[in-house]
Amino acid sequence: MPKSKLVTIFGGSGFLGRYIARRMAKDGWRVRVACRHPNDAIFVRTYGVVGQVEPVFCNIRDDESVRHVTMGANAVVNCIGVLAEAGRNTFDAVQAEGAARVARMASQENVGALVQISAIGADSGSKSEYARTKAAGEEAVLEAFPGAIILRPSIIYGHEDQFFNRFAQMTRLGPILPVVGASTKFQPVYVDDVAHAACKGVKGEAAPGIYELGGPDVNTFRELMSYMLEVIARRRLILNIPFPIAYLMGFGFDMANKASFGLLPAQITRDQVQNLKVDNVVADGAKGFSDLGIEPISMEAVLPDYLWRFRPSGQYFAIKKSAESLKPR
The enclosing domain of 12 has a CATH number of: 3.40.50.720
Q: Report which DSSP code applies to 42.
A: G
* φ, ψ (nearest 5 deg) of residue 153: -80, 155
The residues that bridge with 177 in the sheet, in sequence order, are: 238
Contact between residue 14 and residue 38 where contact means Cβ atoms under 8 Å apart: no
Domain that holds residue 208: 6-161+187-216+280-296
Please check whether residue 1 lies inside any domain of the structure. no
Please check whether residue 267 lies inside any domain of the structure. no
Please check whether residue 12 lies inside any domain of the structure. yes
Q: What tens-digit pLDDT sequence spans the chain (329 residues)? A: 357 899 999 999 999 999 999 999 999 999 999 999 999 999 999 999 999 999 999 999 999 999 999 999 999 999 999 988 888 889 999 999 999 999 999 999 999 999 999 999 999 999 999 999 999 999 999 999 999 999 999 999 999 999 999 999 999 999 999 999 999 999 999 999 999 999 999 999 999 999 999 999 999 999 999 999 999 999 999 999 999 999 999 999 889 888 887 778 888 999 999 999 999 999 999 999 999 999 999 999 999 999 999 998 666 566 565 556 655 55
Helical residues (DSSP H) of the chain, grouped into ranges: 15-26, 63-70, 91, 99-108, 129-144, 164-170, 191-202, 221-231, 243-259, 270-275, 289-292, 303-307, 317-324
Tally of structural domains, the chain? 1
Please check whether residue 270 lies inside any domain of the structure. no
Distance in angstroms (rounded) separating the CA atoms of residues 162 and 121 = 19
The residues that bridge with 262 in the sheet, in sequence order, are: none
DSSP, collapsed to helix, strand or coil, labels residue 299 as helix
Q: Report which DSSP code applies to 39.
A: G
- The β-bridge relationship of strands 156-157 and 189-190 is parallel
* φ, ψ (nearest 5 deg) of residue 85: -70, 145
**Cβ atoms within 10 Å, residue 7:** 28
